[in-house]
Amino acid sequence: MTAPRDTAPRKVLGRLSLPERRYVAEALRTETVGGVLLLAAAIAALIWANVPALHDSYESVAHHHFGPEALGLNLSVAHWAADGLLAVFFFVAGIELKRELVAGDLREPRAAALPVVAALCGMAAPALVYVLTNAAGDGSLKGWAVPTATDIAFALAVLAVIGTSLPSALRAFLLTLAVVDDLFAILIIAVFFTGDIDFAALGGALAGLVVFWLLLRTGVRGWYVYVPLAVVIWGLMYNSGIHATIAGVAMGLMLRCTPREGEEHSPGEQIEHLVRPLSAGLAVPLFALFSAGVSVSGGALREVFTRPETLGVVLGLVVGKTVGIFGGTWLTARFTRASLSEDLEWADVFAVATLAGIGFTVSLLIGELAFEDDATLTGEVKAAVLVGSLIAATLATVLLKIRNSKYRRLYEAEERDDDLDGIPDIYEQDDPAYHLRMAAIHERKAAEHRRIAEEKATARRAEVTGGASAENDRPA
């Protein structure tokens, strides 16, 4: 006899497990704070670069070189931010990806299908929109990868600013999309934006990674061991001709992200907890400060909508991302016979897909790599990234605000903890102990209400009796 198959219908964007919900909540909390700092840094960069009295100082600081020239590391401040600080960002992305693959939603093929397909479609569609726009307008195809990336920190900052209580399932969907998105962005950078390779430096970097892996596997501890080694690996990777951020991803993927017996958290989770604030609060905002300082004059903004390269970026972020992610999600649900969670509607998925059109950090980085030989076009493409992200954020704000009252009810239901045990009640509906605790709580409340009712009734009888006696004592 064959075992009966699980015929229960699968839900798209259903409720998260409690451990996954806690992880997502902590990760998004840090990313939201980082996103607000990212917004502040981008605004500061635009002001610094566009105020005539400050423009020269911005250029002077951004292009100031420092570092050991003998090691090939005499870089500009902007270059250090893009290749150095973003390695920290991609290190965290590597840990996130490893955790998703071994302990998160991506470890199960059925659950992983939705975010992976949605992310792939959400990268292919913007690239296609860019290519078609530039093919029709006789533009350069070099920037096809610019609109493919989603910036999770920027997207969450928008949510924080507009005050939308997005349900945890949609927030987790957005986070997982961004993780998969980052993975393929890393592959794009490694494959398409690698120049001449210095095999000696690359061999040294690979040897350093092997040492890093062996130290982890033998249980060696201490930041004073790993940080210097990581810097050496990064420097060798940079000099090899492969983008240095690849070193960060590789080291993040090597960390163990499953706890062993006696461990409350895995080493990967502990290190991510320590490094994520550095990434979100310092590395990414500083990169934004020295990458987002582009001209926003009327002429430059007109160029965004008239030049095929920049128009392709805007349409890729606003149209391509939305159509790709929504279409990929719908097709996955359609062909796997899954149904959308009863609490959500397809309009909610469309709104989140629109929000994913906010591409900032990685889009700016790819824009610099794609057009590094044309400073003017690099600046215009950066302006297009900012304009496209702003349009996507505005559209998402409108769509999410329409549904915000329903989101608030769902969010409050997810957070409700009447028995005050630290676990939301929706996760305890099948636990008899929860219902016994709730019964005891209700019995105490009922006893209190009975006591109050008896006191009120006694007081009312006393008033009636006292009133009648006073009336009888009055003279006729």
Contact 125, 321 (CB under 8 A): yes
Q: Identify the pLDDT of residue 7.
A: 47
What residues pair up with 12 in beta bridges, in sequence order? 340
Confidence at residue 149, expressed as pLDDT on a 0 to 100 scale: 87
DSSP 8-class letter at 280: I
**How confident is the model at residue 146, as a pLDDT?**
93
Cα angle 322, 323, 326; round to 5: 80
Backbone dihedral angles phi then psi of residue 11, each to the nearest 5 degrees: -100, 135
The share of the chain scoring above pLDDT 70, in percent, equals: 89
Contact (Cβ atoms closer than 8 angstroms) between residue 75 and residue 83:
yes
Torsion sign across C-alpha atoms 313, 388, 340, 115: positive
CB atoms within 10 A of CB 33: 17
Say if residue 463's pLDDT is above 70.
yes
Question: What pLDDT does 209 receive?
Answer: 96
- Whether the CA torsion 198, 204, 208, 213 is positive or negative: it is positive
Is a pLDDT exceeding 50 seen at residue 1? Answer: no
Q: Which DSSP letter does residue 71 get?
A: G
In this predicted model, which residue has the larger pLDDT, 469 or 75? 75
Nearest to 120 by CA among 321, 262, 255, 281: 321
pLDDT tens digits along 185-232 = 888 888 888 777 899 999 999 999 999 999 999 988 888 999 999 999
Q: What is the pLDDT of residue 2?
A: 42
Q: Provide the b/e sequence for 408-444 (b: ≥16 CB within 10 Å).
A: eebbeebeeeebeeeebbebbeeeeebeebeeeeeee
What does the alpha-carbon distance between residue 257 and residue 97 come to, in Å, rounded to a whole number? 10
Mean pLDDT lowest for which of 124-138, 299-313, 396-410? 396-410
